[in-house]
Amino acid sequence: MSEEATETAVETKQARGTGELMALAEALIFVADEPITARTIADVLEEDKASVEAALQALREEYDNRESGLQVREVAGGWQIATRTELHEYVRQFLKTRPSAKLSIAALETLAVIAYKQPVTVPEILEIRGVQSASAIKTLLEKRLIVTKGHKETVGRPMQYGTSKEFLIHFGLKDLSDLPSVEDFEDLVQ
Amino acid sequence: MQEELEQYTFDFLTETAEIVAESRDELSIRIGEFAGPLDLLLYLIRQEQANIFDIPIARITDEYLRYIRLMKSLDIAVAADFLVMAAQLIEVKSKMLLPRDPFADPEEVAEDPRQELVDRLLEYEKYKSAAQMLYEKATIEQAVFPRGKIESDENNAEISATVFDLITIFQKIVERQKEKITMEIERDEVSLADMIKRLHARILEHAELSLASFFEEFDTRRELVTAFIAVLEVVRTESVKLVQKKTFDDIILKRV
């Protein structure tokens, strides 16, 4: 997709205004089936990343300002156009969908440990949770929320786990740094 | 002191009835909801409104064991991890009961036997809060919908052909079909009924029929199988018998 677009962009290369950049970025975000990175948009449009990012921010503000039913947002390192949270009731009614099955407490706890401690091994998860997490790990792997991250070079070479891109998408996170820091929870506890 | 220790022997399976009777309603609701022994322990500490840095270990251990017994009596499989924690609690409790080593340096502050447990609980509670945060984020995220899938999302080849392109292609296919040499392969169909009729005819012709010569009349596997079944059928249902004069000799079909 991007290669073809790049070729056509070569011919029409000229200074674009922010408005034009916003329109182009909006079109690309709309057709992309996954969150699209500013880098990809910049490559397709043959623009520098900084001006694309500025256009994306402006685009987001424009959607917010006119209280659109859609929002332009950052997810999993890319940009996405999606419906606004408040409108979910009617969107669901139309799509005839229900919120999908929630993860169990055990699975969520295991996922939390993996998200903050990655790459992390099963024994390390056991140490923190105080309970075997094998079935929770299986569920998380099946849902592709976590991925294996190679073996740890220690006794028994245990498998290490980390979170996936699906994890960021499922929880609506920009990237891992978008997670509140674990120290914040510490303050909360004490 | 001795008496108190004895109370904590691993006697999980007895004395359950009264505990269940007194607390089934109140406790059973929470049973099975704990994500692990640390989760249960945190719950008990909160129930007791105790300070996590100064856990009343005797009371909490009592409560913990009560839960374990209750879980057993309610036939809830108690994970080994819950029992490990029970053992650790008892160990901490017994350490607290021991008098201070009289020969130890009086300057040195003895480590609180509960310290390791407190550290683990605090560490665990952070991730428990993180899990709660993830739950909330997932709930919010489920209210957000990206646009629906469009054709090209599944890497479908694009359809850029016109109706005329389609007609041209179709005509070419029709041409090619004409050129094709058709070759029909007939399938030998021999029904079991036909085969039995044929076998009857043979038996009527000859009073005795050699099975070997009868089978030699056929050359496909299908026919042979049908012939074999026909022989079995005729022998089973009619007054025909198979005779073999000596071992390995030809088998003869004979009318009785």
Q: Tell me if residue B146 falls in helix, strand or coil.
A: strand
Q: Give how far A79 is from chain B: nearest CA, Å.
A: 11
Q: DSSP secondary-structure letter at B53? A: G
Q: Which of A145, A137, A136, A177 is nearest to A164 (CA)?
A: A145
Domain made up of A105-189: CATH architecture: Orthogonal Bundle (1.10)
Number of CB pairs, chain A paired with chain B, less than 8 A apart = 122
Q: What percent of chain A has pLDDT over 90?
A: 53
pLDDT (tens place) for every residue of chain B, 256 residues total = 444 444 444 444 344 444 444 444 444 445 556 788 898 898 889 888 888 888 888 899 998 998 888 877 776 666 788 888 999 999 988 888 887 777 777 677 677 888 889 999 999 999 999 999 999 998 888 888 988 766 554 554 445 556 667 677 777 777 777 776 667 777 667 788 888 888 888 888 877 788 888 888 887 778 888 888 888 888 887 777 777 777 777 788 887 7
Global confidence as pTM: 0.62
- The percent of chain B in helix, strand and coil, each rounded to the nearest 5, is 60, 5, 35
Residue B183 neighbours by CB distance under 10 Å: 5
> Is the CB of B37 less than 8 angstroms away from the CB of A131?
yes
Model ipTM value = 0.79
Q: What are phi and psi of B254, to 5 degrees?
A: -130, 140
Q: Give how far A157 is from chain B: nearest CA, Å.
A: 23
> Is the CB of A189 less than 8 angstroms away from the CB of B126?
yes
Angstrom distance (rounded) from CA B73 to CA B183: 76
> Is the CB of B122 less than 8 angstroms away from the CB of A103?
no
What average pLDDT does range A115-142 have in this prediction?
A: 91
Q: Give how far B77 is from chain A: nearest CA, Å.
A: 14
Using one digit for the tens of pLDDT, what is the confidence trace for B162-189? 666 767 777 777 777 777 666 777 766 7
Question: What tokens does B126 get?
Answer: 């952070």
Using one digit for the tens of pLDDT, what is the confidence trace for A9-67? 444 556 788 889 999 999 999 988 889 999 999 999 999 999 999 999 999 999 999 99
* pLDDT, position A35: 92
In the predicted structure, residue A189 carries a pLDDT above the cut 90: no
Question: What residues have CB less than 8 Å from B76, skipping those under 6 apart?
Answer: B31, B32
User: Residues B55, B34: contact at Cβ < 8 Å?
Assistant: no
Kindly list the residues from chain A whose CB atom is less than 8 angstroms away from the CB atom of residue B38.
Answer: 129-131
DSSP string over chain A: -HHHHHHHHHHT-----HHHHHHHHHHHHHH-SS-B-HHHHHHHHT--HHHHHHHHHHHHHHHHHTT-SEEEEEETTEEEEEE-GGGHHHHHHHHT--PPPPPPHHHHHHHHHHHHH-SEEHHHHHHHHSS--HHHHHHHHHTTSEEEEEE-SSTT--EEEEE-HHHHHHTT-SSGGGSPPHHHHHHHH-
Q: What are phi and psi of B54, to 5 degrees?
A: -140, 65
Question: Where are the CATH 1.10.10.10 domain residues in chain A?
Answer: 16-94, 105-189
What average pLDDT does range A143-171 have in this prediction?
A: 90
Q: A16-94 domain in CATH 1.10.10.10?
A: yes
* pLDDT, position A25: 94
